[in-house]
Structures are given as C-alpha cells and as structure tokens.
Amino acid sequence: MEELERRENIVSIEECPRCGLKNKRKFQQGDYVLKQSGKCPKCNIPMYIKLIYAEPFKP
C-alpha cells in the first residue's frame, strides 16, 4: 500500500505570464491550475500555476 503512494512525485509548474519563465516545484496543498503563485524573479509579477502532474518517483 505504501508503494502505491510513493511511486510518483507530484509537481506544480509555475509560469510567468509576461516572460514565460517556468519554475517547477513540489505540489503544495491548495494548489490548482491557474492559481496565482509566487513572483517571477525577472519581472517581479505574480506567476500562475500552468500545470500540475505526477512524474516518476525520484528519491
């Protein structure tokens, strides 16, 4: 049962709406697609979550 839960990493991909800079981070409770999240280090404007997905587990 534990194996089932540990096989994947869930990540949120943030994107800056202006410069298109992408940032990959671990999924946090409350994240959803198109939610404003963090600030773009280049443009200093809020980024939004473009995608949330599971990728193979990397310890």
Determine the size of the site formed for other proteins (CB under 8 A): 20
**Closest to 8 (Cα-Cα) out of 21, 24, 27, 22:** 27
d(CA 7, CA 32): 21
Rank residues 19 and 54 by Cβ distance to other proteins and give the closer one. Answer: 54
CA 58 to chain CA centroid, nearest Å: 16
Name which of residues 16 to 55 contact other proteins (CB under 8 A). 27, 29-35, 48, 50-55
Interface ranges with other proteins (CB under 8 A): 1, 4-5, 8, 10, 27, 29-35, 48, 50-55
